[in-house]
């Protein structure tokens, strides 16, 4: 089986939410799931609201990320989690 590169877009409940705190907890949940965060980005949305994008690698054998998405959505201050990209890693 191959490795897959997954991108989650995490939307906070408001612009006042600390994205660094969300990033720390989400990264821990991804590691517990068997993934390894490789890159994080902050994406401006509108009116001061910013989304957190986490790009991580996981084994394709893990299958669906639905349970991980639910775990991250349960983090305090998180409004929603969207899987925006998933692709096989080459090499």
- Mention every residue, 6+ apart, whose C-beta is less than 8 A from residue 90: none
pLDDT per residue as tens digits for the range 23-57:
999 999 999 999 999 999 999 999 999 999 999 99
> Measured between alpha carbons, how far is 46 from 39 in angstroms, rounded to an integer?
22
Task: Quote the mean pLDDT of the chain.
Answer: 94
Q: What is the DSSP string of 2-36?
A: -EEEEEEEEEESSTTS-HHHHHHHHHHHHHHHT-E
Domains and CATH numbers, the chain: 3-88 (3.30.70.60)
Q: In what order do the strands lie in the sheet with 49-59?
A: 36-46, 49-59, 3-12, 78-88
């Amino acid at each position: 089986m191959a490795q897959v590169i997954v991108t989650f877009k995490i939307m906070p409940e408001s612009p006042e939410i600390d994205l660094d705190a969300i990033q720390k907890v989400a990264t821990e949940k991804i590691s517990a799931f068997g993934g390894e965060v490789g890159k994080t980005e902050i994406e401006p949305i509108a009116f001061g609201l910013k989304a957190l994008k986490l790009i991580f690698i996981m084994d394709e054998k893990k299958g669906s990320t639905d349970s991980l998405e639910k775990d991250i959505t349960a983090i305090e201050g998180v409004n929603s989690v969207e899987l925006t990209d998933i692709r096989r890693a080459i090499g």
